[in-house]
């Protein structure tokens, strides 16, 4: 059974194939509408965390392709609390065609996949955010044609979004740079995987503390919230540490003239990203958000083996 838990589970050729399919499905959607390739398919949407983009984009992806989605709230399932994850996986395997899970603990989505006889998609975990990374790569590809040889810079916390962005960037041949404060590095295991992927593609990974050095010659500057869901008790501490990592007009001016600014959203405006940048000429944050829909259609199509 093929699942979509991390981009690093796939080969660069497979990731590029999904991106190429996303391009085709997006073009098709705007020109004449997608064919009902998901007819008779139902995707269970399992949530432990609140969501706007993940819920709506997966729901609409299924609808656009002729299928349906079933939203399951935290109180309805109680993943790993009300009922064992192994039992949930086997029960849902007999009801629906696939599962998307947005969880706190990465081990929970891995456990779902272990016991499931239908495809499981990681809609976000504390370790990675692979569906976001696919939309990110699609957005960069639309702007520059391909990722190979580009410089992708992430400024901020070495979190789940940064992990998946690093992995997909170097898989596809882009150089990746991250600037983050001391104590907020990416997990060591993510760095080790990144090093192997970069060695295979010939890309370079650079870890810095200085955001100004990091954005030099950057084609894409990416940031995310300083405090992720589940870290709320650290908010005051983080807000004392991260202001030097704010993506503002001065920082963007130090990158390439054609650089794009990215954010996975939701954004805490005038914290990690200033209004003038978020709404400025370099920003692609809303096309990037819309690309979640098209990238996820392609992921689902490959998992359902219908395109």
Catalytic positions: 102, 129, 132, 224, 264, 292
User: Cα Rg for the chain, rounded, in angstroms?
Assistant: 19
Note whether 49 and 229 are within 8 A (CB): yes
Euclidean distance between CA atoms 68 and 163, whole angstroms: 30
Reading the block at residue 154, the tokens are 């992430």
Residue 24 backbone dihedrals phi, psi, to 5 degrees: -65, -45
**CB hemisphere CA count around 292 (13 angstroms):** 23
Please tell me what DSSP assigns to residue 246: -
**Residue position matching structure tokens 């870890």:** 207
Question: Residue ranges of the alpha helices (H) in 32-129?
Answer: 53-64, 74-77, 85-93, 106-115
Euclidean distance between CA atoms 221 and 152, whole angstroms: 6
């Amino acid at each position: 059974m093929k699942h979509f838990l991390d981009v690093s589970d796939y080969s660069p050729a497979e990731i590029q194939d999904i991106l190429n399919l996303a391009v085709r499905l997006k073009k098709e959607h705007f020109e004449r509408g997608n064919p009902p390739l998901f007819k008779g398919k139902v995707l269970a949407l399992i949530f432990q965390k609140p969501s706007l983009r993940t819920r709506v984009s997966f729901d609409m992806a299924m609808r656009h392709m002729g299928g349906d989605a079933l939203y399951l709230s935290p109180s309805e399932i109680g993943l790993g609390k009300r009922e064992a994850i192994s039992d949930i996986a086997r029960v849902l395997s007999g009801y629906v065609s696939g599962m998307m899970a947005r969880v706190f603990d990465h081990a929970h989505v891995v456990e779902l996949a272990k016991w499931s006889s239908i495809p499981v998609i990681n809609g976000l975990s504390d370790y990675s955010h692979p569906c976001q990374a696919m939309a990110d790569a699609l957005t960069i590809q639309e702007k520059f044609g391909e990722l190979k040889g580009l410089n992708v810079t992430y400024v901020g916390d070495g979190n789940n979004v940064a992990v998946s962005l690093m992995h997909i960037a170097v898989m596809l041949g882009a150089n990746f740079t991250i600037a983050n404060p001391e104590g907020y590095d990416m997990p060591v295991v993510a760095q080790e995987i990144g090093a192997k992927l970069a060695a295979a593609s010939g890309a370079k990974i650079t870890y810095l503390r200085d955001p100004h050095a990091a954005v030099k010659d950057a084609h894409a500057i990416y940031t995310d919230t300083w405090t992720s869901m589940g870290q709320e008790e650290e908010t005051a501490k983080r807000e004392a540490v991260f202001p030097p990592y704010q993506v503002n007009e001065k920082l963007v001016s130090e990158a390439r003239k054609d650089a794009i600014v990215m954010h996975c959203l939701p954004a805490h405006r005038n914290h990690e990203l200033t209004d003038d940048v978020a709404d400025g000429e370099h920003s692609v944050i809303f096309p990037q958000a819309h690309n979640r829909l098209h990238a996820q259609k392609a992921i689902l199509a490959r998992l359902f083996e219908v395109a």
